[in-house]
């Protein structure tokens, strides 16, 4: 045997291994889902929890192995079988693993595992424990399909699949009608976006003849930039993204989605699923880069969402609602980054946000767990000493999201702000404002929850305890990540090369080639911007400290609210507006169509036809009296008439 043969053999082996590992990543959670789903009732709780968690850990390990082997330009293609093939369409059931996918895989499986672990403790007393892990594993499976899909339709499987799991998990406690409403709202709003996605796919399929990401990427540059077709495609895809990633106008489902168990909020509604829209746009960045109009729309929608959600966040009193609006706001920031053409910055913030927002939610879950379900921050306070690990991790996460210097959020946010400053000054101003608001409401939350005295009942207080290790370990790990997450994107100012930008360079190259970003702002300017942002965040935190720690003010009760405070607390009445102008008229129309139009117009035509025949029958039967005499008379009359006619002619 020659050496050459050996190397071929080796590389084949290599391909086989990577394919195997790549397949294992989504299959392990699926296996966990199937095992728990079918055999769950025969297994003890602890086993179920660990099956669920370890299956995700397995995926994470596979991801790590692949990550160590792969370079930033490698792309592993796994085509399982031809899924829909007819005419000129051939959509394969295929997976791709490239640089971007690997980043997403690490986030999904890594944070996914931590949250599974956390759930073992958090959900231990729940009667739906098994069901919870079944759904959670199914979610991970679909999320992995979403990020690994090699074409848009595969992504769409995951896209709708995670929507389903989100529906199931928001309505996890399905005995409560309002939770079910929230679940349904989430699903339907997502479906509105999904229709956009679907139509976008049709445009692409029709004009490109394929849905494969790689082919689209190759073909797109040959199109004329910014023509109607590209704008239509990108706008439709963006509508899909607004649904999944809770942007204006489809954001109202996300705060309601907090009805689900807190680990779900952390995993699905903060770290992974809601970022799917950003992932999708980065995945198809070449199309978006060629449609500057859409980019502008994305930019302004992102900016508006970011600031509106931050304002609403100022006045919320439910600990999870505050975090939910904060999520919406941060997602807005990411979209703004995409709108600025800074695709890798969007991903950077996505990753750091996943770290600290998951941590915040898990911390909030730990607080809620300690307080036996209390979520209203007006009834909290003074928890600092009682649950110290939660307190420390929560405050670090809050610092990270507020953009406190040198923590992960600082770098990722700053990168976006730098892009904004360079391209569009008004955007920079609004986004900076939104950052200040973020810092303020986060520390309002921190001070109200952990400082001063406990405002709840004495009885609740006596039960407060730190959570078990399965819950605190994920908190600590995420805390470390929140602090160090910025290292992956240290800016050049710090004499480091921006690792994430380099890693994703190949993915964002098509867009970069089109957008021709102007030269970067000078290092001095960058340092000034960073300082401004850092100082702003600190000042904002200090102001929150002044209001809620020094002056010890507590948000007023619902009845006492008035003026703008109330409007903001009521989320600008957007839900009511939607109800009044969209939902109610639709149901009214349904009622009218069903009970009036269908019965009295459409069916009336049918019954009238039958009625006409019936009436003519009734009229004609008069002649058939049954009286023989009249029959004979008619006969004779007929003969006479015939005779007369005969005679006359």
Partner 1 sequence: MDTLIQAVPLNWYLFLSSFLFCIGVMGVLFRRNAIVILMCIELMLNSVNLLLVAFSSYSGNSDGQIFVFFIMVVAAAEVAVGLALLVSIYRNTGSTDIDFLNKLKW
Partner 2 sequence: MLTLLLLFFPLAAALLVLLGGARNASRLALGFAVAELALTAYAVTVFQASGPEAFYIFQPWIESPKVSFHLGLDGLSLVMVMLTNFLMPVIILSAFHRNIHHASGYFSLILLMQFALIGVFIAMDGLLYYIFWELALIPVYFIALRWGGANRVAVTLKFFIYTLAGSLLMLFGFIMLYWYNPAQSFDIRELYRIYITDGNQSWLFWTFFLAFAVKIPIVPFHTWQADTYREAPTQGTMLLSGIMLKMGTYSLIRWLLPILPVGVAKWGPLAITLCVIGIVYASIIAMRQRNLKNLLAYSSLAHVGLISAGIFALNIQGLQGSVVQMVAHGVNVVGLFFCADIIFNRTVTINSDNLGGIRTLAPQFATAFLIIVLGSVALPLTNGFIGEFLLLYGVYEYNTWLSVFAGLTVILGAVYMLRMYKKVMLGHPGARVPEFSDLYWNEKLALGMLVVVIIGMGIYPKPILDLAEPVLQSILNKTII
- Site residues for partner 2 per CB under 8 A: 81-87, 89, 93, 153, 156-157, 159-161, 164, 167, 171, 174-177, 180-181, 184, 187-188, 191-192, 194-195, 198-199, 202, 205-206, 586-587, 589-591, 593-594, 598, 602-603, 605-606, 610
Q: How far is the CB of 491 from partner 2 (least distance, A)?
A: 40
Q: How far is CA 147 from CA 156, 270, 399, 512, 522, in A?
A: 10, 16, 29, 22, 35
Q: Does 628 bind partner 1 (CB under 8 A)?
A: yes
Q: How far is the CB of 151 from partner 2 (least distance, A)?
A: 13
Q: How far is the CB of 199 from partner 2 (least distance, A)?
A: 6
Q: Which does 174 bind (CB under 5 to 8 A by kind): partner 2, partner 1, none?
A: partner 2
Instruction: Name the residue with tokens 């942007």.
Output: 247
76 has which bridge partners?
97
CB-based contacts of 344: which residues, under 8 Å, 6+ apart?
282, 500, 501, 504, 505, 507, 508
Q: Which does 229 bind (CB under 5 to 8 A by kind): partner 2, partner 1, none?
A: none
Name the residue nearer to partner 2 (CB basis): 602 or 644.
602
Name the residue nearer to partner 2 (CB basis): 15 or 596.
596
Q: Give the total of residues touching partner 1 (CB under 8 A).
A: 11
Q: Measured between alpha carbons, how far is 149 from 160 in angstroms, rounded to an integer?
A: 13
Q: Measured between alpha carbons, how far is 499 from 412 in angstroms, rounded to an integer?
A: 13
Packed helices 523-545 and 388-402: angle between N→C axes, nearest 10 degrees: 140
Name the residue nearer to partner 1 (CB basis): 612 or 631.
631
Q: Does 647 bind partner 1 (CB under 8 A)?
A: no
85 has which bridge partners?
90
Name the residue nearer to partner 2 (CB basis): 58 or 243.
243
Q: Which does 586 bind (CB under 5 to 8 A by kind): partner 2, partner 1, none?
A: partner 2
Strands 89-97 and 76-86, by their bridges, are antiparallel
318 has which bridge partners?
376
- Choosing from 5, 385, 621, 646, the residue that interacts with partner 1 (CB under 8 A) is 621
Q: How far is the CB of 235 from partner 2 (least distance, A)?
A: 13
Q: Which two tokens stand for residue 376?
A: 């209203």
- C-alpha torsion sign, points 209, 212, 213, 215: negative
Q: Measured between alpha carbons, how far is 406 from 530 in angstroms, rounded to an integer?
A: 10
Q: Measured between alpha carbons, how far is 306 from 327 in angstroms, rounded to an integer?
A: 9
Q: How far is CA 4 from CA 1, 7, 9, 18, 303, in A?
A: 8, 5, 9, 21, 57
Cβ atoms of 562 and 309 closer than 8 Å: no
Q: Does 629 bind partner 1 (CB under 8 A)?
A: yes
Q: How far is the CB of 120 from partner 2 (least distance, A)?
A: 22
Q: How far is the CB of 305 from partner 2 (least distance, A)?
A: 22
Q: Rounded to the nearest 5 degrees, what angle is found at the Cα of 45, between the Cα atoms of 42 and 51?
A: 85
Q: Does 627 bind partner 1 (CB under 8 A)?
A: yes
Main-chain dihedrals φ then ψ at residue 318, nearest 5 degrees: -90, 125
Q: Does 633 bind partner 1 (CB under 8 A)?
A: yes
Name the residue nearer to partner 1 (CB basis): 85 or 639.
639
Q: Which stretch binds partner 1 (CB under 8 A): 330-338, 343-351, 430-438, 617-625?
A: 617-625
Q: Measured between alpha carbons, how far is 54 from 52 in angstroms, rounded to an integer?
A: 6
Q: Map residue 151 onto helix, strand or coil.
A: strand
Q: How far is the CB of 29 from partner 2 (least distance, A)?
A: 15
Q: Which does 187 bind (CB under 5 to 8 A by kind): partner 1, partner 2, none?
A: partner 2
Q: Which does 629 bind (CB under 5 to 8 A by kind): partner 1, partner 2, none?
A: partner 1
Q: Measured between alpha carbons, how far is 354 from 216 in angstroms, rounded to an integer?
A: 29
Q: Which two tokens stand for residue 80?
A: 């399982």
Name the residue nearer to partner 2 (CB basis): 484 or 596.
596
Q: How far is the CB of 213 from partner 2 (least distance, A)?
A: 17
Instruction: Name the residue with tokens 């179920």.
Output: 48
Q: Which stretch binds partner 1 (CB under 8 A): 267-275, 290-298, 478-486, 621-629?
A: 621-629
Name the residue nearer to partner 1 (CB basis): 594 or 638.
638
Nearest to 546 by CA among 404, 440, 408: 440
Q: How far is the CB of 283 from partner 2 (least distance, A)?
A: 17
- Choosing from 80, 84, 539, 636, the residue that interacts with partner 1 (CB under 8 A) is 636
Q: Does 626 bind partner 1 (CB under 8 A)?
A: yes
Where along the sequence are the contacts to partner 1 (CB under 8 A)?
621, 624-629, 631-633, 636
């Amino acid at each position: 045997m020659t050496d050459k043969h050996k190397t071929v053999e080796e590389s084949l082996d290599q391909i086989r291994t990577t394919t195997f590992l790549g397949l294992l990543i989504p299959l392990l959670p699926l296996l966990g889902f199937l095992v728990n789903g079918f055999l769950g009732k025969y297994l003890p709780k602890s086993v179920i929890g660990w099956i669920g968690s370890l299956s995700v850990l397995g995926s994470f390990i596979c991801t790590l192995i692949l990550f160590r082997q792969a370079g930033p330009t490698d792309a592993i293609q796994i085509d399982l079988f031809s899924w829909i093939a007819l005419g000129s369409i051939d959509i394969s059931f295929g997976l791709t693993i490239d640089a971007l996918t690997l980043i997403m895989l690490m986030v999904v499986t890594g944070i996914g595992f931590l949250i599974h672990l956390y759930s073992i403790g958090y959900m231990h007393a729940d009667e739906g424990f098994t069901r919870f892990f079944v759904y959670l594993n199914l979610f991970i499976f679909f999320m992995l399909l979403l990020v690994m899909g090699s074409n848009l339709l595969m992504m769409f499987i995951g896209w709708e699949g995670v929507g389903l799991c989100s529906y199931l998990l928001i309505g996890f406690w399905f005995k409560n009608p309002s939770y079910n409403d929230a679940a349904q709202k989430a699903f339907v709003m997502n479906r509105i976006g999904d229709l956009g996605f679907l139509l976008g796919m049709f445009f692409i399929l029709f004009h490109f003849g394929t849905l494969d990401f790689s082919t689209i990427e190759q073909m797109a540059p040959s199109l004329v930039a910014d023509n109607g077709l590209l704008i239509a495609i990108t706008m439709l895809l963006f509508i899909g993204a607004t649904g999944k990633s809770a942007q204006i106008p489809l954001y109202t489902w996300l705060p309601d989605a907090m009805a689900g168990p807190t680990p779900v909020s952390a995993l699905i509604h903060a770290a992974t699923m809601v970022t799917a829209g950003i992932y999708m746009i980065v995945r198809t960045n070449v199309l978006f880069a060629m449609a500057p109009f859409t980019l502008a729309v994305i930019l302004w929608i992102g900016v508006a969402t970011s600031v509106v959600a931050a304002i609403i966040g100022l006045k919320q009193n439910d600990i999870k609602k505050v975090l939910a609006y904060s999520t919406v706001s941060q997602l807005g920031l990411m979209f703004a980054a995409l709108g600025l053409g800074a695709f890798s910055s969007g991903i950077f913030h996505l990753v750091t946000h996943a770290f600290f927002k998951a941590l915040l939610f898990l911390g909030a879950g730990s607080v809620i767990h300690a307080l036996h379900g209390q979520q209203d921050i007006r009834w909290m306070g003074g928890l600092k000493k009682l649950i110290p690990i939660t307190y420390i991790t929560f405050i670090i996460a809050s610092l990270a999201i507020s953009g406190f210097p040198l923590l992960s959020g600082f770098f990722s946010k700053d990168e976006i702000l730098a892009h904004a400053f360079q391209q569009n000054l008004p955007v920079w101003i609004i986004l900076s404002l939104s950052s200040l608001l973020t810092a303020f409401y986060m520390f309002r939350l921190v001070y109200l929850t952990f400082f001063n005295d406990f405002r709840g009942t004495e009885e609740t207080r006596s039960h407060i305890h730190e959570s078990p290790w399965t819950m605190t370990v994920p908190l600590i790990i995420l805390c470390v990540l929140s602090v160090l997450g910025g290292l992956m994107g240290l800016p050049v100012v710090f004499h480091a090369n921006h690792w994430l930008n380099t890693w994703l360079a190949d993915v964002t190259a098509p867009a970069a080639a089109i957008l021709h970003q102007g030269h970067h702002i000078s290092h001095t300017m960058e340092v000034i911007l960073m300082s401004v942002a850092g100082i702003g965040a600190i000042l904002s935190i200090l102001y929150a400290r002044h209001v809620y720690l020094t002056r010890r003010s507590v948000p007023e009760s619902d009845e006492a609210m008035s003026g703008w405070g109330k409007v903001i607390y009521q989320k600008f009445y957007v839900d009511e507006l939607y109800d009044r102008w969209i939902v109610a008229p639709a149901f009214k129309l349904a009622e009218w169509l069903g009970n009036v139009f269908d019965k009295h117009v459409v069916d009336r035509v049918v019954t009238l036809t039958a009625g006409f025949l019936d009436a003519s029958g009734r009229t004609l039967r008069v002649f058939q009296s049954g009286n023989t005499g009249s029959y004979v008379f008619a006969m004779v009359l007929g003969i006479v008439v015939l005779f007369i006619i005969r005679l006359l002619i």
